[in-house]
């Protein structure tokens, strides 16, 4: 009986906390088209999220509304050892199921006591996981589906301390929900287990933007978001439990700790000619905070799971071109992500691996103050040979497509900022 208790306790252990791959690229259309390299090239209300200091460069009201479609796919192939053991089928793929995260931002900028300032608020889903394997794939006892969403609300502000130097920051509220499913082998029968939890936490953001030379269109910037430790609580439930085990595999409360890690971005932007803006950025995602996952069930079982995550490092590049066609701006970018997991700890719950990605997009000002933006992002992950993984072994190949569409509306309010001070950033100079 003790053996059965230990096996059932493991139902609380879906190995869901994959590190990198938990983060989602900034899917505001302009930023995504630039592969999110625009920390030093923010020009509107989306700076509420990416770089609050840049809000001090705004004049008037600005609204941004965007929506995205995320399509994540993963293919699994059996290892030679699994084939010899008779695993069937020997390959499987996640079925397509798109998710549609929104992005909403509003901000106001003006002048106060001779200094420029800006304030704003916004909402998006900066992290999560969306994994949907078929019920009969060979790894279903590890995971069938994961639906994790880290919602975030922002209240941010920026202030121009001196000409060309802006400081910013704000508070962040994170709310995480997750629902995951897996099959369960109850002795000689197949059952089903589901885990749903939720929790929240507060964090903060600090940022700065500096244009050191008044007549040189070069801007440096950084943004730092502090980690947020959350306690997620919820229920574990089971279906198809044999009569002999119903007293053990009872529905129960469950909790575990989940950290939204520290995020740090530093970048520069330079306007090569009046029509062409180039930018680069380095991002550090501090997933080394995942030393272990601890799942605690109300039946008195505590399970400690060692993890071996490292920090995710991303190098990003983007270019924005004001085309000869009035109102039309073209954008492109690419990035390289080092990944944070390793093959020994690879899990099909949240696919992760080093990747290369590219992006394209455009914006069109179709009416005074109104702009529509669109973007496409493609990520190709390196193939992972996880033959010795502590989770479900195999060879994994992942890729993701993200489509984004948004509209922005700018409303000048109050006296216009002096022309001599306009464009003190690379993004604004000579626009």
User: What pLDDT, on the 0 to 100 scale, is given for residue 352?
Assistant: 78
CB atoms within 10 A of CB 108: 18
How far is CA 388 from each of CA 347, 371, 392, rounded to the nearest angstrom?
11, 51, 9
**Domain 2-421, classified CATH 2.40.160.60, yes or no:** yes
- pLDDT confidence of 12, banded at 50, 70, 90? very low
- pLDDT confidence of 418, banded at 50, 70, 90? very low
Q: How far is CA 210 from the centre of its chain?
A: 26
User: What pLDDT, on the 0 to 100 scale, is given for residue 430?
Assistant: 43
420, two tokens:
């001599």
Count of residues in the chain: 431
36, two tokens:
């999110």
Higher pLDDT, 235 or 168: 168
* pLDDT > 70 in the chain, percent: 87
User: What pLDDT, on the 0 to 100 scale, is given for residue 28?
Assistant: 94
Beta strands in 211-327 (DSSP E): 218-225, 228-239, 252-260, 263-273, 276-285, 292-297, 302-306, 312-322
Q: How far is CA 377 from the centre of its chain?
A: 13
Contact present, 305 and 16 (Cβ < 8 Å): no
Structure confidence by residue, pLDDT tens digits, 331-390: 999 999 987 777 787 888 877 788 999 999 999 999 999 999 999 999 999 999 988 887
Q: Is the pLDDT of residue 13 over 80?
A: no
Contact present, 200 and 229 (Cβ < 8 Å): no
User: What pLDDT, on the 0 to 100 scale, is given for residue 63?
Assistant: 97
Q: Which residue has the tokens 């996981």?
A: 129
Of 159-163, 164-168, 187-191, 320-324, least confident by mean pLDDT is 187-191
Mean pLDDT for the chain?
86
- pLDDT confidence of 429, banded at 50, 70, 90? low
User: What pLDDT, on the 0 to 100 scale, is given for residue 254?
Assistant: 85
The secondary element (H helix, E strand) that includes residue 119 is strand 115-132
**In the chain, where are the structural domains located?**
2-421
Burial class (CB in 10 A: 0-12, 13-18, 19+), 306: exposed
Please give the radius of gyration of the chain, using alpha carbons only, rounded to the nearest integer.
Answer: 24
Q: What are phi and psi of 407, to 5 degrees?
A: -135, 140
Higher pLDDT, 353 or 109: 109
Mean pLDDT, rounded, for 244-271:
86
Q: Which residue has the tokens 């696919």?
A: 351
User: What pLDDT, on the 0 to 100 scale, is given for residue 306?
Assistant: 59
pTM higher than the cut 0.85 = yes
Structure confidence by residue, pLDDT tens digits, 203-231: 999 999 999 998 899 999 999 999 999 99
Q: Is the pLDDT of residue 9 over 80?
A: no
Contact present, 174 and 182 (Cβ < 8 Å): no
Mean pLDDT, rounded, for 109-137:
92
Structure confidence by residue, pLDDT tens digits, 286-309: 988 877 666 677 876 665 655 677
């Amino acid at each position: 009986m003790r053996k059965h208790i230990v096996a059932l306790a493991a139902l609380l252990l879906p190995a869901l906390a994959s590190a990198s791959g938990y983060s989602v690229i900034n899917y505001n259309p302009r930023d995504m088209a630039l592969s999110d390299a625009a920390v030093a090239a923010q020009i509107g209300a989306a700076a509420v999220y990416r770089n609050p200091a840049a809000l001090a460069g705004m004049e008037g009201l600005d609204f941004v509304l965007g929506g995205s479609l995320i399509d994540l796919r993963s293919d699994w192939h059996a290892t030679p050892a699994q084939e010899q053991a008779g695993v069937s089928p020997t390959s499987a793929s996640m079925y397509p199921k798109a998710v549609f995260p929104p992005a909403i931002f509003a901000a106001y900028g003006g002048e106060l006591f001779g200094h420029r300032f800006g304030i704003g608020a916004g909402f998006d889903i900066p992290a999560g996981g969306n994994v949907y394997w078929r019920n009969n794939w060979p790894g279903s006892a590890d995971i069938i589906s994961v639906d994790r969403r880290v919602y975030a609300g922002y209240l941010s502000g920026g202030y121009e301390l001196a000409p060309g130097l802006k400081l910013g920051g704000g508070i962040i509220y994170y709310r995480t929900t997750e629902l995951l499913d897996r099959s369960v082998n109850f002795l000689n029968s197949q059952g089903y287990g589901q885990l749903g939890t939720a929790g929240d936490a507060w964090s903060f953001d600090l940022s700065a933007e500096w244009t050191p030379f008044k007549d040189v269109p070069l801007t440096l910037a950084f943004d730092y978001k502090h980690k947020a430790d959350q306690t997620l609580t919820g229920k574990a439930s089971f279906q198809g439990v044999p009569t002999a085990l119903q007293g053990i595999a009872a529905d129960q409360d469950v909790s575990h700790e989940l950290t939204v890690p520290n995020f740090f971005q530093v970048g520069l932007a330079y306007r090569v000619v009046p029509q062409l803006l180039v930018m680069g950025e380095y991002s550090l995602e501090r997933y080394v905070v995942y030393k272990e996952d601890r799942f605690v069930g109300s039946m008195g079982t505590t399970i400690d799971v060692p993890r071996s995550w490292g920090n995710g490092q991303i190098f990003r590049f983007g270019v924005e071109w004001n085309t000869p066609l009035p109102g039309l701006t073209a954008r492109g970018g690419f990035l390289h992500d080092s990944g944070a997991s390793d093959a020994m700890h690879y899990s099909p719950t949240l696919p992760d691996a080093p990747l290369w990605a590219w992006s394209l997009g455009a914006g069109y000002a179709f009416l005074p103050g109104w702009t529509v933006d669109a973007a496409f992002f493609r990520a190709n992950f390196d193939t992972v040979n996880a033959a010795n993984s502590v989770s479900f072994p195999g060879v994994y190949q992942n890729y993701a497509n993200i489509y984004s569409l948004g509209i922005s509306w700018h409303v000048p309010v109050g006296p216009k900022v002096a022309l001599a001070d306009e464009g003190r950033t690379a993004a604004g100079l000579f626009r």
